[in-house]
Amino acid sequence: MPHETSLLTLLAAGLVLAFALGTLAHRFKLSPLVGYLVAGVLVGPFTPGYEADTDLASQLGEIGVVLLMFGVGLHFSVADLKAVRKVALPWALLPIAFGSALGALVGRWLGWSWGTGVVFGLCLSVASTVVLLRALEDNRLLDTRRGKTAIGWLIVEDLVMVLVLVLLPPIGRALSADASAGLDLRALGEALGLTVLKLALFTGVIVVVGRRFVPWVLRKVAGTGSRELFTLAVLAIALGVAYVSSQWFGVSIALGAFFAGMLLNESELSHKAAADSLPMRDAFAVLFFVSVGMLFDPSILLRQPLPVLACVVVIMVGKPLAAWALVRALGHGNRIASTIAASVSQIGEFSFILAGLAVALKLMPGDARDLVLAGALISIVANPLVFAAVLRWQSGEVVVPAPEAGDGAGPALPTHGHGILVGYGRVGSQLAELLRARGMPLLAIDADADLVAKARADGIPAVRGNAAAANVLAELSPATATHALVAIPNAFEAGEIIARLRAANPAISILARAHSEAELWNLLDAGADAGVLAERELAYSMAEMVIAQDAGA
């Protein structure tokens, strides 16, 4: 079957199928990731029917990785990195070594050399940050200490992989030039030294130049008054830094994007602006999973079931157990240990990159890459279940939930007679300040981790998540609340939220924020008691000011 190389066809087929299967997966209470991966398999070369261009798809997927890692950077500060240092560095190396050793044993069993086995083992031992992010987001763990530690752990793994990717070509050359002569240690040392130097240089450039330069550029661009230019500036910084870091400094493109995000995290203004400017991030992230699915040849499950099983055991049992035991041995609690174990029980983008390079360097047979892919796919599909099981285990074991620093919901959540505040942005936070001054007990919800932290710092109990999701909304005890203030700008979501609130509590008083007459009517139809048209109130206030000034003059 000929390849279909049109970008547009790929985007349309990939996204439409991913949407359909993602929704289906959601209906069956599975992670939508499963739907995206299956969509990939369907448009891939190993199933009949439409066959998209794999190269094109993986490049699109790479954009997804860049944007996602940029997003992680946006939420990750230098202080966060320091905080996870105790757990993650240098200990994250040990489970990688353990997983690689197990993988090498599997390789030997399959009749490969030790060298091939170790590279194969490395492919099975580096977890995917993209998959982890999804898991943390889905389980609303992103702003907890456990979540941040897991991200820090994976950043360390990424750094290790940068070194491995750089060292692999000289190792490959040494091995293929003269197998009996062994490794050229000098060449290896030079490559290692150069990489460390480049990494140091890169960090220096980022810290010194980037910190000053990036906010300055953003201020200037904001001054032009063009939103389009602003979004473009953010995109240019994300992709530009990622690309330059990979080309000039030998840093992986994903890690480069992470640093770019951290740059913008320096000031709250640029952070918020940048987060708002990347609505396309989710679409590209979906394409990453579709592209992974496309590479997968399902027949390997029938051709080599036992080796596939061995890979899955290494990925999902061997390495996570080692990580769990290590974190426990370091004196940390079971919550952190088991979260990290669940986090590293999958592999993804780095394994594909590494496996691709190793096959190109003839360090690994093509079969090995197929096994890595099978292991990745199975572990990615199973990861949401692993997380669910681990979280259930965690909640089952704590008889009296002990609050963890940065974990939990801050001030205790009110359960009746309270006002639910949806959205703690510009509107919600001011509303909260005014109402609290009058003694109204409030419970806030926002999708943004930083704003949830802000609400808690302001002394308002807050929940993080999308209020349009039924399980999240249920946490706000709508049935026993007296008021709901829906202060978010998206009228579609607001309509859903209002309808759910109304269904849960027919007596609750619901006030909503709108930005046009049409939105206002939509919100009233959904069940709101009243709505405030933001722009009209603004005009009224401005007119009042002018009239008052005239009267005073």
Rounded to the nearest whole angstrom, what is the least distance from the CB of residue 359 to ligand AMP in the complex? 43
d(CA 276, CA 74): 11
- Nearest residue (CB) to ligand AMP, 319 versus 464: 464
Alpha-helix residue ranges (DSSP H) falling in 178-267: 185-205, 211-224, 227-248, 253-264
Cβ contact 120:107 at 8 Å: yes
Rounded to the nearest whole angstrom, what is the least distance from the CB of residue 311 to ligand AMP in the complex? 39
Cβ contact 262:256 at 8 Å: no
Query: Under the criterion CB under 6 A, does residue 468 sit at the interface with ligand AMP?
Result: yes
Q: Which residues in 421-450 contact ligand AMP (CB under 6 A)?
A: 422-428, 445-448
d(CA 371, CA 164): 20
Instruction: Please choose, out of 65-73, 141-149, 285-293, 420-428, the segment that lies near ligand AMP by the rule CB under 6 A.
Output: 420-428
- Nearest residue (CB) to ligand AMP, 142 versus 206: 142
Query: What tokens does 150 get?
Result: 């897991």
Say how many C-beta atoms besides its own lie within 10 A of residue 47's C-beta: 18
d(CA 498, CA 492): 10
Distance of CA 496 to the CA centre of its chain: 25
Query: What tokens does 131 get?
Result: 């998959």
Q: Which residues in 473-492 contact ligand AMP (CB under 6 A)?
A: 487-490
Give 125's DSSP letter.
Answer: T
- Nearest residue (CB) to ligand AMP, 227 versus 392: 227
Rounded to the nearest whole angstrom, what is the least distance from the CB of residue 373 to ligand AMP in the complex? 36
Q: Which residues in 323-342 contact ligand AMP (CB under 6 A)?
A: none
Residue closest to 99 by CA, chosen among 118, 128, 125, 127? 125
Using CB under 6 A, pick the residue from 386, 421, 467, 523 that binds ligand AMP.
467
- Nearest residue (CB) to ligand AMP, 66 versus 488: 488
d(CA 463, CA 468): 13
**SS3 of residue 417 by DSSP:** coil
How crowded is the C-beta side of 337, counted as CA atoms within 13 Å?
15
Instruction: Please choose, out of 176-184, 249-257, 416-424, 544-552, the segment that lies near ligand AMP by the rule CB under 6 A.
Output: 416-424
- Nearest residue (CB) to ligand AMP, 76 versus 424: 424
- Nearest residue (CB) to ligand AMP, 286 versus 432: 432
Rounded to the nearest whole angstrom, what is the least distance from the CB of residue 301 to ligand AMP in the complex? 39
Rounded to the nearest whole angstrom, what is the least distance from the CB of residue 64 to ligand AMP in the complex? 22
Rounded to the nearest whole angstrom, what is the least distance from the CB of residue 113 to ligand AMP in the complex? 53
Rounded to the nearest whole angstrom, what is the least distance from the CB of residue 446 to ligand AMP in the complex? 4
Query: What tokens does 254 get?
Result: 């994903």
Instruction: Please choose, out of 54-62, 303-311, 391-399, 417-425, the segment that lies near ligand AMP by the rule CB under 6 A.
Output: 417-425
Residue closest to 157 by CA, chosen among 183, 122, 181, 187? 122
**Which residue has its beta carbon closest to ligand AMP?**
425
Cβ contact 459:433 at 8 Å: no
Using CB under 6 A, pick the residue from 119, 451, 452, 476 that binds ligand AMP.
451
Query: Under the criterion CB under 6 A, does residue 462 sit at the interface with ligand AMP?
Result: no
Rounded to the nearest whole angstrom, what is the least distance from the CB of residue 173 to ligand AMP in the complex? 51
* C-alpha pair distances (Å), 551 with each of 537, 540, 541: 21, 16, 15
Query: What tokens does 26 get?
Result: 């959601």
- Nearest residue (CB) to ligand AMP, 65 versus 488: 488
- Nearest residue (CB) to ligand AMP, 69 versus 497: 497
* C-alpha pair distances (Å), 133 with each of 43, 137, 432, 529: 25, 6, 30, 38
Length of the chain: 553
Using CB under 6 A, pick the residue from 4, 367, 475, 493 that binds ligand AMP.
493
- Nearest residue (CB) to ligand AMP, 89 versus 449: 449
Using the structure block, give the residue that is written with the tokens 């994250």: 92
Task: Enumerate binding residues for ligand AMP (CB under 6 A).
Answer: 422-428, 445-448, 451, 466-468, 487-490, 493
